A = this chain, B = another copy of it.
Amino acid sequence: MNWINELKKRLPEGQVTDNPTVLEHHSKDESYHTPRLPDVVVFPRCREDVVEVVRFAGEREIPVVPFGIGSSLEGHVIPERGGISIDFQEMNQVLEVRPEDFLVRVQPGVTRTQLNKELKKYGLFFPVDPGADATLGGMAATNASGTTSVRYGVTRDQVRDLEVVLADGRVIHTGGASAKSSSGYHLTGLFVGSEGTLGIFTELTLRVYGIPEGILAARATFPSVHNAVQTAVSVLSAGIPVARMELVDARSIRQLNQFSQTDYPEAPTLFFEFHGNPEGLQKDAAFTRELAEAEGSRGFLFETDSKARATLWEARHNLAYAFIHGTPGKKQMATDVCVPLSRLAESVENARRLIDDSSLDGGIVGHIGDGNFHALLMLDPSNPQEVAEADRIHANLVEHALNCGGTCTGEHGVGIGKKKYQAREHGPAYEVMKEIKQLLDPKGILNPGKIV
């Protein structure tokens, strides 16, 4: 294509490539969605490079798709209509750490573990933990969350300011450096979670936190998922500031024991983490234990040493991989509904029943304090019957969640996979979303085919 040579002239040597291996790497994410090659991949080194690419794309109405490390789970980075994949791996600088302001300024290609390594020097940390070592640009684009959001909130809650390149090449800052503001419209919140469809992030200012004085981990097994969920509700009702509270169902514990060489009892389990001062921690954990035992918990174990604690959370984080590695030839479809707490037990039980009644294998894990859980369904994407079965389960879970006032995606985002549920979930508000997309990207060049 002629325009690729044009583009190569517009950016410094080596920043634009149509090498087939590189194109292939940018054709997919970690999901089961069908890959699609971009026409070209660019590696910007600064905001001006991004402006140049977006202006170029706008002139020719070529799609542009931002790419972090490709850990998205709904096909967000797949260039469904070809075009330019913008890979941010060379914009990976932590630009500024401001300990007294609890702020950090980063480029979008910085990953969260890279950031936390840097922050540790200052006694600070960035709390959002989606499991994967995603880039912060990607996490903001999907409004990622994960195990710690019950205490610290989701990515949107951490973003103070975004530098955004708009579809017409304008550059805006959506916020500022102050902890709060009632000035103007809240564009930061609008751009976070917009999945590259409204603008492209070139810089993020994020809130960070002091590393807590003490950390305590624990796990508890329960007679049923229902008891585990009730315990979670009791913990939140009591105002215990739990930092993580994860549900892992019996099937998933079995997979985890196989993969991680742990020997946790194969029963519905809650994994907890508490952050705070040592006296408060002990009290919080003891109170949590009481609440768990009132719900029939047969074992409440503290992981006191940091090694056991690391093992526990590593095991939890590796669960999705445990299923993938344990089921050769299969891919994973992760559902991601989020429901009000009062409907969580029945939602999880419904999911378990649907999996058991199908020919598919799969486990259930949940960020239970938020009402968010994943059914991890193993399937062969080339087997139409398995795909149809997974789709049916997925659709059922979404319909159930929406009937509860919940959402089709708690944290993975819409991408390709959840687009079909948007009209049902948002009703007339979906029209407003489309109008905003049309306003900000009239030519439809920004990650077309996603969300709207």
Contact = CB atoms under 8 A, between A and B. Distances in A.
Interface string A348-381: 0000000000000000000001111000000000
A92 interface: no
B185 A410 contact: no
| Copies held by the complex | 2
Interface in A388-439: 401, 404-414, 418, 421-422, 425-433, 435-437, 439
A33 interface: no
5 shortest A-B CB distances, which residue pairs? A280-B280, A189-B189, A177-B405, A181-B407, A100-B342
A215 to B, nearest CB: 11
Nearest to A74: B182
A237 to B, nearest CB: 5
Given A173-B426, A179-B372, A213-B239, 9 more contacts: A102-B237, A103-B340, A156-B189, A178-B338, A178-B401, A180-B372, A182-B407, A182-B409, A185-B451
8 contacts: A98-B340, A123-B237, A143-B186, A173-B426, A183-B413, A184-B451, A186-B189, A213-B239
A183 B422 contact: yes
A299 interface: no
Contact of A178 (B174, B185, B187, B371): B371
A238 interface: yes
A124 B244 CA distance: 22
Contact of A241 (B144, B276, B451): B276
A170 interface: yes
Contact of A277 (B209, B287, B411): B287
